[in-house]
Amino acid sequence: MSVTLDIRLKRANKVYHEGPIQLISSNIEVAKAGKIPGGKTEIPFEFPLQTKGNKVLYETYHGVFVNIQYTLRCDMKRSLLAKDLSRNCEFIVHCQPQKAKVAPTPVNFTITPDTLQNIRERSALPKFLIRGHLDATNCVISQPLTGELVVENSDVPIKSIELQLVRVETCGCAEGYARDATEIQNIQIAEGDICHGLSIPIYMVFPRLFTCPTLETTNFKVEFEVNIVIVLHDDHLITENFPLKLCRV
């Protein structure tokens, strides 16, 4: 007779919050030795999220060089002639919301050839003027990043305007640190030669799992940035960078 083992979490979204106790590694017995009858058998279980010593629970985060995951593993020990069964299931940990309110930090920006950084031949650039604002750079992770952008004028046609969300992961120790920036998502907010003077809304939802509250520890940091990317008709890229601080409230 075929026997299978599965783990089912009571919460459909698989999200759990840290505390008041924290988890690093814990083993519990959910059923004592004995015979399991034929058919489907459900064994309920629960336990506090708990760490040992002064360890800290960090929020679930799936990155490139930094990965924070929490999993359940269920092992069923069987008789000598039967193969043991094992099943893993990931669940998601959210850090405790901060009590203090997040003060909005709106940022106004103007993009012209003179404001661009790391340009070798500035005189070769076409003339353009782009204004706008981000409603906040201190962002609540469960709320979208919003703002507005206006192309006041441009000597050459614009092909596309995009929002690029970037993770910046720093890892290392006393011997040295490595800092790497990689793209999380890219959203096109305008296509084609945009009408001058037209307000274009900026709206980006922070993706679950691939973002977390901005994190800094002894050995690693996880930070986030957003780039406003203007693609000209000849595929020349104009990029304006904004550091973000994400938090959970």
Give 21's pLDDT tier (boundaries 50, 70, 90).
very low
Q: Do 209 and 111 belong to one domain?
A: yes
Q: Do 155 and 196 belong to one domain?
A: yes
DSSP 123: G
What is the identity of the amino acid at 177? Y
**Structural domain of 71:** 2-90
Give 117's pLDDT tier (boundaries 50, 70, 90).
confident
Residue 25: its pLDDT value, please?
Answer: 63
Contact by Cβ (8 Å): 147, 130? no
Residue 17: its pLDDT value, please?
Answer: 57
The answer as to whether 196 is a domain residue is yes
The answer as to whether 98 is a domain residue is no
Distance, CA of 124 to CA of 118 (rounded, Å): 14
Q: Do 127 and 214 belong to one domain?
A: yes
Range of weakest confidence among 14-18, 56-60, 115-119, 243-247: 14-18
Pick from 40, 61, 214, 230: nearest CA to 140: 214
Q: Do 116 and 186 belong to one domain?
A: yes
Task: Tell me which of 90, 120, 148 is where a domain ends.
Answer: 90
Average pLDDT, the chain: 86
Q: Is the pTM of this model over 0.75?
A: yes
| Per-residue pLDDT tens over the stretch 191-205 | 998 899 999 999 999
- How many domains does the chain divide into? 2
Q: Do 42 and 114 belong to one domain?
A: no
pLDDT at 89 over 70: yes
- What sign results for the dihedral spanned by CA atoms 60, 62, 63, 66? positive
Mean pLDDT of 124-152: 94
Give 187's pLDDT tier (boundaries 50, 70, 90).
very high
The answer as to whether 37 is a domain residue is yes
pLDDT at 151 over 80: yes
Range of weakest confidence among 19-28, 129-138, 156-165, 173-182: 19-28
Task: Tell me which of 45, 60, 90 is where a domain ends.
Answer: 90
pLDDT at 99 over 90: no
Q: Do 131 and 187 belong to one domain?
A: yes
Residue 119: its pLDDT value, please?
Answer: 75
The answer as to whether 198 is a domain residue is yes
- With H, G, I as helix, E, B as strand and everything else as coil, classify residue 51: coil
Q: Do 83 and 113 belong to one domain?
A: no
The answer as to whether 100 is a domain residue is no
Residue 197: its pLDDT value, please?
Answer: 94
Q: In percent, how much of the chain has pLDDT > 70? A: 91
Residue 95: its pLDDT value, please?
Answer: 86
Residue 23: its pLDDT value, please?
Answer: 41
Q: Do 116 and 25 belong to one domain?
A: no
Pick from 54, 55, 56, 87: nearest CA to 71: 87
Mean pLDDT of 147-176: 91
pLDDT at 120 over 80: no
Q: Do 37 and 140 belong to one domain?
A: no
Q: Do 75 and 133 belong to one domain?
A: no
